Structure 1
Amino acid sequence: MKPLAVVFGANSAIAQAMIAHVHTAYHVLAVSRHESMALPEGVEPVQCDYSESALQALTQRIQQRDEPLTFVFCAVGVLHREGSMPEKKLAELNSEQLTHYFAINSILPALILKHLIPIMPRSEPTKAVVLSAKIAGISDNRLGGWYGYRASKAALNMLIKTASIELARSHRKLCLVALHPGTTATPLSQPFTRSLPEDKLFTPALTSERLWSVIEGLGPEDTGRFLHWDGSDLPW
């Protein structure tokens, strides 16, 4: 019997490509706000509004299954939306947009971990991977701009790092990491890639292949790391 994996943000281009790898080793629940796009045979779509009550209901649903939940992959995130682009100047900041960034990029992944990790087995190796971004690295910020996105992803990194310290005591076989996928040709990055060289813009298929290669090699000793898509450590 295959173990269970839950992929959040399953309608994103990276998650869609990642599911093709994950479902070879796991039975997969593909969680998204809206009806999922075409999925490989055997992958179960799950609609979820990501409220705490919905996450709690999902947790209870998973607990009723026979397969152990050993892998969580979170691709939930936002960079821009209609009428709202990343802020280039301090004067462009506004409360509503900052709140939206933190709600999606920081708080939601943290709540997913809050609800899902307690039902992961402690007696066997487990993995929880959250997509972050290289530009969240405070020590690597030399260009400025993109205030809300940078700050919300930096907050996400802190939440992951803090959780990894706590969970290393209670879930000693868990590996919890933040993973940077690289600039990928997706709707999220599309407005910002026109001048990017082709060798710096990856297809979702290539990105997922690289990420899966890193994920497969992770063990409990790697918990708490902030990783580049090539498996190297990124500066916080």
Structure 2
Amino acid sequence: MTKHWLIIGAAGGIGKALVRTLLAQGNKVSAISRQSSHTDNQQQQGLHWYQLASAEQPEAADVLAAIFSDKVDAVVLCHGWLHGMGMQPEKSIRQLNRAAMQQSLEINLIQPALYLQQLLPLLQKQQNVKIAILSAKVGSITDNQLGGWYSYRMAKAALNMLVKCSSIELARYNKEATLISLHPGTTDSELSAPFQKNLPEGQLRSAAETALRLIQVITELRAAQTGALINWDGSPLPY
């Protein structure tokens, strides 16, 4: 059966792969990204692509209302930033700087938070809707045995709290909704590119492989899992 998926942050490596894979499976896809996509995807039947710099744009509410005029079955938020603009993950607290922390919080936490703010009233009316916010295993406080990567870890840990709080609020209005944090695994993308050299064999997956795994996990979500941090294979991860 054809499903309607909303992919936010659709121009990134995982976002693009999700769009391609979902379309190939015969689904309807609404995609939102900061930049317009110049790929062949835009010409495919079943795809509507919207350009929004952020959820704070005045037209964001109208775009989301138009998307949700047709029942939405699943939503994936794909925001993520680890390095760039001369900044790398910190190995020591001595390397912390305001610019890197602000950039990480802006993309990994604030942008998805503002989209969730806009989405929650719409999600309250969607039967059996499933929402996944791409997070990271390194955002788990319990699992952290190595330290380092301060800005990224802090932002993803905060994102997990955002998802937990939002899932509780959403459940008050929609008992069938499932809202989770989802760790996609190590994916061959710009985000992971500088850190792939010493990965164990088999840990790095292509964006297409990641997309297939995440679609399966999201499709199989149950309302009892709402608020959880879920691994790429569907297993629970500790906060």
Q: The TM-score by the shorter chain falls in which range? A: over 0.9
Offset of residue 124 of structure 1: 1.3
Bigger shift: 15-24 or 28-37? Answer: 15-24
Offset of residue 51 of structure 1: 4.5
1:198 to 190, 197, 201: 201
Runs of at least 5 residues in structure 2 that lack an aligned partner in the other structure? none
- The ranges of structure 1 where at least 4 consecutive aligned residues each deviate by more than 4 angstroms after the TM superposition are none
Offset of residue 9 of structure 1: 1.1
Query: Is 1:34 matched up with 2:35?
Result: yes
Tell me how many residue pairs correspond in the alignment: 234
| Partner secondary structure for residue 234 of structure 2 | coil
- The amino acid of 1:21's aligned partner reads T
Offset of residue 29 of structure 1: 1.7
- What are the within-5 Å matches in structure 2 for residues 1-236 of structure 1? 4-23=4-23, 24=25, 26-38=27-39, 39=41, 41-42=44-45, 43-54=47-58, 57-64=59-66, 66-120=69-123, 122=125, 124-236=127-239
- The superposition leaves residues 93-123 of structure 1 with CA deviations (integer Å, 9 ceiling, x where unpaired) of 1112111111110111111111022113536
Query: Residues 198 and 93 from structure 1, CA distance in 2 versus in 1: closer, same or farther, beyond 3 angstroms?
Result: same
C-alpha separation in 2, matches of 1:114 and 1:26: 26
- The amino acid of 2:28's aligned partner reads H
Offset of residue 61 of structure 1: 2.8
Offset of residue 89 of structure 1: 1.0
C-alpha separation in 1, matches of 2:117 and 2:55: 12
C-alpha separation in 2, matches of 1:69 and 1:94: 40
C-alpha separation in 2, matches of 1:60 and 1:18: 24
| Partner secondary structure for residue 73 of structure 2 | strand
Offset of residue 223 of structure 1: 0.8
Bigger shift: 218-227 or 127-136? Answer: 218-227
C-alpha separation in 2, matches of 1:64 and 1:230: 33
- The amino acid of 2:5's aligned partner reads A
Runs of at least 5 residues in structure 1 that lack an aligned partner in the other structure? none
- The amino acid of 1:36's aligned partner reads S
**What is the TM-score of this pair, normalised by structure 2?**
0.91
- The amino acid of 1:29's aligned partner reads S
| Partner secondary structure for residue 31 of structure 2 | strand
**What is the TM-score of this pair, normalised by structure 1?**
0.92
